[in-house]
Amino acid sequence: MATHLITGAGSGIGAVLAARLAERGDELWLLARDARRAAELRERFPGAKTLVGDLGDPAKLSWAFGHQALPVELDSLLHVAGTVELGPVGDLPVKAWQDTLNVNLVAPAELTRLLLPSVRLVKGHVVFVNSGAGLRAGAEWSAYAASKHGLKALADSLRLEEHGNGVRVTSVYPGRTATAMQAKVHQQEGKQYDAGQWIEPESVAKAVLAALDASRDAEITDITVRPGR
């Protein structure tokens, strides 16, 4: 039985990953922003354990974890949570930049720092669910793309640093995926949302599981997933 810690398990790709890993009989630790959300996750995923910590305020994660039991060993740390705020560079306020960078980049870095000893102990795996925006930036996507480009840099540096410790690091770059975030993006773009046009969360989850299940002699470093319709 493997042990996994997942962010963003409340919906979309994270929820599918949590369900698939639970079906295997693996142990789940799910990060929640507050106690109410933690209770909802435990109800949705019976047997799962929860940690409470707000990704929007990464400076307080260390303090929050200091008051909770943490997993001793982690076979995988799965960074799935994210946020998006579109707008021209000339219009995006500082708060939009700070909120986006906190959730999408600084919090994953801090969460990795805090939990890396548990991952190293079993030569585990760190997976960053990035975005196509982590490889290219479009108009009005500056803050989100910057956060995801930074997340790629974080993963690439971590991979080089931890290779000698047996820790594997994977970045997954999905195209537009049918999640609540995608519905929000369409709303911000002023476009009608049709989930059937985009990648199903299940398909991205399968890509993550393929990386986790790779034999120990291999490390899948980067996976790009694009809409097939």
**Which active-site residues does the annotation give?**
144
Buried b (16+ CB within 10 A) or exposed e, 41-51: bbeebeebbbb
Q: How many CA atoms lie less than 13 Å away from 78 in the CB half-sphere?
A: 29
Instruction: Say if CB 149 and CB 137 are below 8 A apart.
Output: yes
Instruction: Say if CB 52 and CB 38 are below 8 A apart.
Output: yes
Instruction: Say if CB 173 and CB 134 are below 8 A apart.
Output: yes
Give the three-class secondary structure for 66.
coil
Q: How far apart, in whole angstroms, are the C-alpha atoms of residue 49 and residue 195?
A: 31
Instruction: Say if CB 103 and CB 150 are below 8 A apart.
Output: no
Amino acid at 66: G
